[in-house]
Amino acid sequence: MYYNNRVDEMIDGLPVTEEQIQAWQERAMAGYDVKDLRRRGRPGLGAAGPSAVIPVRMDDDLLAALNQRAKTEGLSRSEAIRAAVRTWARVA
């Protein structure tokens, strides 16, 4: 928005102009096809549908070991935890 000829809003480092706002309003009034809109949030993990978030508590030693192993393997913590649970679940 412009206040006293000062730009207060930026997107990707560029000022938002009144013309841009007008164009967005016109596009919104014309309507959007829901299929064309980007989904918010993280992508799913596969074809099984939405994934659950499971909080897990770990002591400092276990967390440090997890972080180190994940780094060594080139995985995120979540990927490393999923790999460990998959291995355990197949054995148990």
Report the distance separating Cα 27 and Cα 48, nearest Å: 35
Q: Could you read off the pLDDT of 19-37 as tens digits, one per residue?
A: 989 998 998 888 888 777 7
pLDDT score for 5: 52
Q: What pLDDT sits at residue 79?
A: 92
Query: Residue 44 to residues 37, 41, 78: CA-CA distances in angstroms?
Result: 16, 9, 13
pLDDT surpasses 50 at 75:
yes
**pLDDT mean over 32-44:** 73
Q: Is 16 exposed, middle or buried (0-12, 13-18, 19+ CB in 10 A)?
A: middle
**Residue ranges per domain, the chain?**
2-32, 60-91
